[in-house]
Amino acid sequence: MENVVGLTPLAKRVLVTGATGFVGGHLVRGLADAGIAVGAMLRAESSAQVLDQRATILHHDGSTGNLHALVRSFAPNVVIHAATHFVGTHEPDHIVRLVQANVLFGTQLLDAMARCGIKRVINFGTTWQHFDSDHYNPATLYAATKQAFEDIAAYYAEAEGFAILTLMLPDTYGPADRRGKLVSSLLRVQKEGGRLDLSPGEQRINLLHVEDVLSGVRMALDRICAAPARTHEAFALRGPDTLSLRDLVARIERLGGRPVPVTWGARPYRSREVMRPWMGPLLPGWSPGIDLDRGLSDLMGSK
Ligand X SMILES: NC(=O)c1ccc[n+]([C@@H]2O[C@H](COP(=O)([O-])OP(=O)(O)OC[C@H]3O[C@@H](n4cnc5c(N)ncnc54)[C@H](OP(=O)(O)O)[C@@H]3O)[C@@H](O)[C@H]2O)c1
Residues that bind ligand X (CB under 6 A): 18-24, 43, 45-46, 82-86, 100-101, 105, 124, 126, 146, 169, 171-172, 179
DSSP state of 87: -
CB of 234 to ligand X, least distance (A): 12
Which residue has its beta carbon closest to ligand X?
A: 21
How many whole angstroms separate alpha carbon 92 and alpha carbon 68? Answer: 31
Nearest to ligand X of 124, 156 (CB atom): 124
CB of 131 to ligand X, least distance (A): 14
> What are the residues facing 205 on neighbouring strands?
243
Nearest to ligand X of 161, 282 (CB atom): 282
CB atoms within 10 A of CB 172: 22
Cβ neighbours of residue 180 closer than 8 Å, sequence gap 6 or more: none
Nearest to ligand X of 96, 229 (CB atom): 96
Question: How many alpha carbons fall within 13 Å on the CB side of residue 298?
Answer: 13
> What are the residues facing 81 on neighbouring strands?
17, 123
Nearest to ligand X of 259, 281 (CB atom): 281
> What are the residues facing 169 on neighbouring strands?
126
How many whole angstroms separate alpha carbon 22 and alpha carbon 12? Answer: 22
Nearest to ligand X of 163, 274 (CB atom): 274
Nearest to ligand X of 171, 211 (CB atom): 171
How many whole angstroms separate alpha carbon 69 and alpha carbon 75? Answer: 10
CB of 46 to ligand X, least distance (A): 3
CB of 118 to ligand X, least distance (A): 18
CB of 257 to ligand X, least distance (A): 27
CB of 212 to ligand X, least distance (A): 12
Query: In 168-281, which residue ranges form alpha helices assigned H by DSSP?
Result: 182-192, 210-226, 245-256
